[in-house]
Structures are given as C-alpha cells and as structure tokens.
Amino acid sequence: MAGSIVTVLSVVLGFLFLNFVFLKPFYGLIRGINKIRTEKSFSTRLEVKGESEFSQLAVEINEMLETLQKSEINYIKANDELKQQTTQLETKSSEFERINKHMVGRELRMAELKEKIKDLEEQLNARQ
C-alpha cells in the first residue's frame, strides 16, 4: 500500500515537474507565436525567462522578428519611393505626349503649307 502511494505521488510529482519545466514554457512560446501570426505584426516580441532551451528559442525568434521588421520597413520605404517615381514618370510621359502631339500637328501643318506653296508656284509658273 505504501509502495502504491509512493508510486502515485511520484507520477503526480513527475507530471507537475514536466508541466512546470517543459510544457508551460512550450505553451507560452506557442501562445506568443500565435499572437504574432494573428496580429501579423513583426513588432511583437516573445517573453524570455531564464536560461532554458525555450528561452534561447524565444531569443532567436525575437531576433528573427527584428530582422523581418527591418525588412518590412525597408520594403515599405522602397515601395513608397517606387510610387513616387511612378507618379513622376507618368507626369513626364503626359508632358512628352502633349509636346509630341503639338510637334506632330506642327509638322503636318508645315507639310500642308509646303504643298500649298508648291501648288502656288506651279500656278505662277503656268501664268508666265
């Protein structure tokens, strides 16, 4: 009877030890990672406690998040610059189209006038 009580007590203590040392930090990491995933935010950091492997994993994940956050900031800046350059190019393109239309119209008018001058010269030569 005493042996079975010791066995049950050992199992309960073993379970509590496993829960405290392994499962609690593990579930803490899972909760933190799920929060990061659902919020879609690279600014969230995992809580680091102690010197366990779970703490080391949290540190590594936090460093990865820092890198991702910096990359996201650089991406947003590059995207904004690209939008600005696109707007500038569209403005210049519109200006070039307007100038081209004006120049083509002028060239067409000059061709008409040259044709008219040629016709008038022929009429003048025919009268002489």
Convert the pLDDT of each residue in 97-108 to its tens digit.
998 888 888 888
Q: What is the mean pLDDT of residues 117-126?
A: 89
Model confidence at 41: pLDDT above 70? yes
Q: Give pLDDT, residue 19.
A: 66
Q: Give pLDDT, residue 21.
A: 66
Structure tokens at 1: 């009877």
Domain ranges of the chain: 2-127
Higher pLDDT, 89 or 101: 89
How far is C-alpha 5 from the chain's CA centre? Answer: 60
User: Which of 9-13, 56-60, 121-125 has the lowest average pLDDT?
Assistant: 9-13
The 10 Å Cβ neighbour count of residue 36 is: 18
Give me the DSSP letters along 50-88. Answer: TTSHHHHHHHHHHHHHHHHHHHHHHHHHHHHHHHHHHHH
Cβ neighbours for 48, distance < 8 A, ≥ 6 positions apart: 55, 58, 59, 62
Q: Give pLDDT, residue 84.
A: 97
Q: What is the pLDDT of the chain when averaged over all its residues?
A: 86
The C-alpha angle 17, 22, 26, rounded to 5 degrees, equals: 145
